[in-house]
Structure 1
Amino acid sequence: MTERLERTVFARLEAMGDVPLLWWKGEWWSVPRFLDRTRSCIETLERGGFGEGQRLAFMVPNSPLSLSLSLAAWSLGGSVAPLNPLGGGDLLLSTLKTLEPSLLVLPDSADQASLSASSGLPVALASLEGLLPPMTCRGGRRGAPSLAVTYSTSGTTGRPKIVPLSHANLLDNVGTALAFITALGPDETILNALPNFHAFGFGLCSVLPLVAGYRQIVLPSFLPVADALDALDAAQGTVVLAVPTMISLLCAAAARTGRAPKSLRTLLVGGDKVPLGLDEKARTHLGLPILEGYGLTECSPLVAVNRSYATRRLGTVGPVIPGYVYEVRDDEGRVLPEGSEGVLWLKGPSITEGYCDNPETTEQRFRDGWFDTGDVVRLDDGCLTLLDRATDLIIVGGFNVYPQEVESVLLQHPAVREVSVIGSPNATSGEVPKAFVVLQEGMDPPGERELLRFCRERLAHFKTPRKIAFVGELPRSPLGKVLRRVLRDEERRRAERGRG
């Protein structure tokens, strides 16, 4: 019988008995209480017509509901699609059109009228405590019963890029992570505060603890940080899985209050490059250094990690975890010797087979069984160092921002002739978008404030540029292609001069 997530999780939880499992809004939920809510979700979905191969989309924060919905959909042979509420209305509707789910679940505090009308979907408003109201699902798009979750991104052109992952993908990645990361023991309490539409948040903060039988501190939001500190204290949290921005904010809150959670044993950080100095800040204010890791949505997500404090190599993301075959290649696809800088290619059982309805991108990234990560790395003595993104992706506090999406908005302004957007170094969020704008001749030039306001009205907050520089021309290659790398290098030098 093929191994499935819900079978693995139910077997683990039922063997645990009547013990605490989820810390939610100041109290522990026992295993039986969580299982009762999950069985209720299964019954309600089944009565509503949800079945094998169908997709359940949800846009709810981390909660007992998000966990129960996932297990319920899997139990009925379906899959889940956690969605990003910060992505903007047009992107959300485009994603839903591509996914064709049978049902969309929103928090019972949401306004469903406009979304239901514009998407044509049945919408269920549910309590975050896991109470799902009666509903009727539509047929929707059916996929293989082996499909577990689909993640969506805006893609480099604004078209949703859908990443499907199977039960086998997730179970392989989670199982390998639990065996490989020796910093994790048999009895842990994990902070689940990363958004569940993020592969790091869903795969490692939600699924991994369920598979392992770990306790979870479930927070609908990491902010305000004081509440996260209080929850870690009250629930005796032992492991924080976070992006660097979260660690930075925890350090600042701990420094401000003069207290740090005494139960913490492990800080696992990924989703973005760890800024210089953050490790020392974590030591000073949280009493622990950082174990840095690296992953990609397409890989379910973990690829490499420093497995323990005894073996960690600061400045690297540690060794590639078992199960992957890896190569570092040059731009022509030639395999490079260890110590060389090149693009990381991977093979392994936790990697998706390709993107939904996107054969062009699938063909570009997946070749002869290999996956092109698009990341420039160096491998030294078995440890991986991330050097740069081969793509122009900007990561703001762990969230992906694609320059072309921001550029397309700025180009809608009548006074903008050309624009290029890069990531500008930022001490808090790692990077923030910065736009270099060439104005139309013969028009009244807009000020920076006007263009920023123009963007804020059309983009999610984290995608909106924080700075705009007006330039006479953009750097270009002999073929006329704008060279974002030149702009990034100049921006980094400018930032270094500012710190000097």
Structure 2
Amino acid sequence: MDRPHHKFWPQRLPRAITVPATSLWHNLATSAARYPTKAALVFFGRTISYRELVDQAERLAGTLQALGVQRGDRVVLDMQNCPQLVIAHFAILRANAVVVPVNPMNRAEELKHYIVDPDAKVAFTTGDLAAELAKASNALEPAQRLAHLIVTQFTDAFDADVSGDEAPAPAWRDWLLARHPLPALDGGEAMHWQDALDAGHVPPPHTVGADDMALLPYTSGTTGLPKGCVHHHSSLMHNAVASQLWGSVSHEAVVLAVVPMFHITGVVSMMHTAIYAGATLVVMPRWDREVAGRLISLRKVTSWTNIPTMVIDLMGSPNFASFDLSSLMYIGGGGAAMPQAVAQRLFEQYGLRYQEGYGLTETAAPSHAQPFENPKQQCLGIPFMSSDSRVVDPDTLRELPPGESGEIITCGPEVFQGYWKRPDATAAAFVDFEGKRYFRTGDMGRVDEDGYFFMTDRLKRMINASGFKVWPAEVELLMFKNPAIQEACVIATKDAYRGESVKAIVVLRPTHRDTTEQQIIDWCRENMAVYKTPRQVQFVDALPKSGAGKVMWRLLQEKEESAA
């Protein structure tokens, strides 16, 4: 059936695609067979070829099997962007296991959940994070702990004396060059990365296929702890292939890999798309505008997936005029709206149209994308290949006409299977609509006469801080562990740079009335990822409650917006 947006569909592309009926491992193996000597990864001047990448992944897969990892087992991957993350990711897939990507900003109290919930016994991490992960494991019951921790140092992948345009930012050097000792892992064993590579174990036969689980990323929500999203090889494969076609990513593409590869966008739209195409990933461990500008110029980057704040920051550099962005053919991303003035400047100076898109962890990143030929600014785009989306009344599920705001629901092969160990949450997340299974995104939007989707509000309670999703319920759950806090309600506050920041409204216990706002903020920094940490704390005598005793967070949020 024709939908309004089909008249704007790129003529070069089919509306639906047939994807390989194989595992994601085959994408790397195929690219390595085709382009063995081609650069797969570049990290501060050090190049890893496709042949080297597949060889190291297979060697690690052999070690994983020797450590007891079997088909379908979940393996934690807790790293900032680096070549070892890509190698370990594909090693886990090669060993027929499941990747559990973890945000490296998480602290021990948060990390416990990512060990216990997926029943993980093996984890990969970097030296700077190993002590925190071991601390989390050691605090668990013996039966819940990690059995093995494989630890790499950043300098395992680049030369410490690198200089010039490909050198790390000066502020990173102490962080990247430090070599950390292996932590004590109670009831288990910590192992050096190189020892795991050199162990000499033969990898197991690769037996998983399209319908096996490949990835278990976690997403938070309105209540409780983060939930694991079950993604088969097939859902990720669809969006990797579709993104390659949509973005015209060829094997000659050079991709700036700065979006975090623990995040679904970085995993699928960037890493898996590039590996499927046989492209080159120029890896940055975190954001720095000067490093990014130099790498785009030097490496002739053609594709850059990002969040808008990165572009704004780069264009604000005093050295911006000296950077050569002429090689860029694609620039786009999501997580937050791109300001129209910045998008216009990009187009006027470089002829680049910023391609905004939309997707969730549950939809393997893009469920909507902008057609290159007919983009609209500050717009989610149109439903992605093989997909359909509607705007419905969230209570009656009646489809709404153009212009009316309702909940966005979506259906397609990229949609996840359901929530790990949470049949109740899975049942609530899907609805039957016109005979098909649609995912309820929880985002409020509208569709225009042309079939383009626009965000209007969030049905779910969520804060968007520079593209990072912060779920107040999760932050509150962690804050209640502070002995000074009797009650806490977390809301969003406006932030000129980040878009939104986290604010906590706190009721102190009578025994801790002398606690300061800064002490609460400092405690939060010690116990949760920095992007979740409240930037503001407000003390009150009591939180407003409904007749049922529930905290009326929406009333507090509306007061904050009125004050702003």
Give the TM-score category using the shorter length: 0.7 to 0.9
**Distance in 2 between residues matched to 1:83 and 1:293, nearest whole Å:** 23
Which of 260, 266, 269 does residue 204 from structure 1 map onto? 269
Give secondary structure in 2 for the equivalent of 1:457: helix
Which of 70, 81, 96 does residue 89 from structure 2 map onto? 70
- Which residue of the partner structure matches residue 370 of structure 2? 306
- Which residue of the partner structure matches residue 124 of structure 1? 150
Scaled by the length of structure 1, the TM-score of the pair is 0.87
Give aligned pairs, total. Answer: 488
Give the deviation of 1:115 after TM superposition: 5.0
Whether the 8 Å contact between 2:232 and 2:417 is mirrored in structure 1 is no
Which of 316, 321, 334 does residue 379 from structure 2 map onto? 316
AA matched with 1:318? G
Give the deviation of 1:89 after TM superposition: 0.9
AA matched with 2:490? V
**Distance in 2 between residues matched to 1:413 and 1:488, nearest whole Å:** 23
**Distance in 2 between residues matched to 1:480 and 1:279, nearest whole Å:** 46
Which of 27, 32, 38 does residue 51 from structure 2 map onto? 32
Give the deviation of 1:273 after TM superposition: 3.3
AA matched with 1:313? K
Flag the 1:376–1:74 CA change in 2: closer, same or farther, 3 A: same
AA matched with 1:331? P
Structure 2 residue runs of 5 or longer lacking an equivalent are: 1-19, 140-144, 158-192, 202-207
- Which residue of the partner structure matches residue 161 of structure 2? none
Which of 288, 291, 303 does residue 355 from structure 2 map onto? 291
Give secondary structure in 2 for the equivalent of 1:99: coil
**Distance in 2 between residues matched to 1:358 and 1:287, nearest whole Å:** 47
Whether the 8 Å contact between 1:374 and 1:390 is mirrored in structure 2 is yes
Give the deviation of 1:355 after TM superposition: 0.5
Flag the 1:164–1:214 CA change in 2: closer, same or farther, 3 A: same
1:213-362 pair list within 5 angstroms = 213-222=278-287, 224-253=288-317, 258-275=322-339, 277-280=341-344, 282-283=346-347, 288-308=352-372, 310-332=373-395, 333-362=397-426
**Distance in 1 between residues matched to 2:228 and 2:323, nearest whole Å:** 42
AA matched with 1:98? D
Flag the 1:323–1:475 CA change in 2: closer, same or farther, 3 A: farther
Flag the 1:338–1:11 CA change in 2: closer, same or farther, 3 A: same
Give the deviation of 1:377 after TM superposition: 0.7
Flag the 1:410–1:286 CA change in 2: closer, same or farther, 3 A: farther
Which of 5, 11, 14 does residue 33 from structure 2 map onto? 14
Whether the 8 Å contact between 2:25 and 2:93 is mirrored in structure 1 is yes
- Which residue of the partner structure matches residue 219 of structure 2? 153
Over the residues paired in the alignment, what is the CA RMSD in angstroms? Answer: 3.1
- Which residue of the partner structure matches residue 498 of structure 1? none
1:74-85 pair list within 5 angstroms = 74-85=93-104
Give secondary structure in 2 for the equivalent of 1:274: coil
Whether the 8 Å contact between 2:120 and 2:146 is mirrored in structure 1 is no
Which of 239, 243, 261 does residue 177 from structure 1 map onto? 243
1:361-400 pair list within 5 angstroms = 361-368=425-432, 369-380=437-448, 381-400=450-469
**Distance in 2 between residues matched to 1:221 and 1:79, nearest whole Å:** 25
Flag the 1:76–1:111 CA change in 2: closer, same or farther, 3 A: closer
Which is bigger in relative contact order (C-alpha 8 A, separation at least 6)? 2
Per-residue deviation, residues 102-139 of structure 1 (Å, max 9, x unmatched): 41112255545545544342112235547434499xxx
Give the deviation of 1:99 after TM superposition: 0.9
**Distance in 2 between residues matched to 1:150 and 1:410, nearest whole Å:** 26
AA matched with 2:531? F
Tell me which moved more, 160-169 or 447-456: 447-456
**Distance in 2 between residues matched to 1:257 and 1:2, nearest whole Å:** 46
Give secondary structure in 2 for the equivalent of 1:81: strand
Tell me which moved more, 353-362 or 447-456: 447-456
Whether the 8 Å contact between 1:255 and 1:285 is mirrored in structure 2 is no
Give secondary structure in 2 for the equivalent of 1:3: coil
AA matched with 1:329? V
Give secondary structure in 2 for the equivalent of 1:202: helix
Flag the 1:475–1:99 CA change in 2: closer, same or farther, 3 A: same
Give the deviation of 1:257 after TM superposition: 6.6
**Distance in 1 between residues matched to 2:511 and 2:37, nearest whole Å:** 74
Identity %: 27
Per-residue deviation, residues 333-386 of structure 1 (Å, max 9, x unmatched): 222123221001112111112101112211211234221100001111111101
Whether the 8 Å contact between 1:151 and 1:164 is mirrored in structure 2 is yes
- Which residue of the partner structure matches residue 204 of structure 2? none
- Which residue of the partner structure matches residue 468 of structure 1? 537
Flag the 1:373–1:126 CA change in 2: closer, same or farther, 3 A: same
Scaled by the length of structure 2, the TM-score of the pair is 0.78
Tell me which moved more, 412-421 or 60-69: 412-421
Whether the 8 Å contact between 1:279 and 1:289 is mirrored in structure 2 is yes
AA matched with 1:77? N
Tell me which moved more, 321-330 or 434-443: 434-443
Flag the 1:161–1:447 CA change in 2: closer, same or farther, 3 A: same
Give the deviation of 1:466 after TM superposition: 1.1
Give the deviation of 1:48 after TM superposition: 3.7
**Distance in 1 between residues matched to 2:528 and 2:379, nearest whole Å:** 33
Give the deviation of 1:154 after TM superposition: 4.5
AA matched with 1:323? S
AA matched with 1:294? Y
- Which residue of the partner structure matches residue 557 of structure 2? 488
**Distance in 2 between residues matched to 1:265 and 1:151, nearest whole Å:** 30
